[in-house]
Amino acid sequence: MDGAEFPYSVSPDDKPIKFHMNVQDQIAMYKDNEKHQKAPAILPHEVERITEVLGDTFESLAKLRNMLSNAQKTSNIPTQPLDALKKKIDIINGLILDIPETLAKIGI
């Protein structure tokens, strides 16, 4: 009656119940058991690089903004389109700076 033929067979437990556990022992035991139940806190490769990509994007947009400012000073380009572009870049950079706060809320 053992094995696959009778899956409900009863045998002595090799880890008997410990009736003399205090609260601290129980907490330690449950925390140890919890380690085996949770997935590791390793993010997928693409997600690990998210802050690096955000930093590169911010830096690239800042360089672009400086290029537009320099072009505005040295050439006869109308200021209104350049100011509109710089304003859009500032808005995007502001949004990029807000993203890490949101990522921190979800644990990234």
pLDDT in the model for residue 65: 94
Please count the other Cβ atoms lying within 10 Å of the Cβ belonging to residue 65: 19
Q: What number is the average pLDDT over the span 5-22?
A: 67
Whether pLDDT at 2 is above 70? no
Joined tokens for residue 10: 């009863």
For the CA atoms of 20, 23, 26, 32, the dihedral, rounded to the nearest 10 degrees, stands at -140
pLDDT in the model for residue 46: 67
Q: How confident is the model at residue 3 (pLDDT cuts 50, 70, 90)?
A: low
DSSP 10: -
Domain boundaries, the chain: 45-105
Q: What is the pLDDT of residues 31-86, one digit of tens each?
A: 877 777 766 666 666 677 888 899 999 999 999 999 999 888 888 888 898 899 99
Give the CA count within 13 Å in the CB-facing half-sphere of 3: 1
For the CA atoms of 45, 48, 51, 54, the dihedral, rounded to the nearest 10 degrees, stands at 20
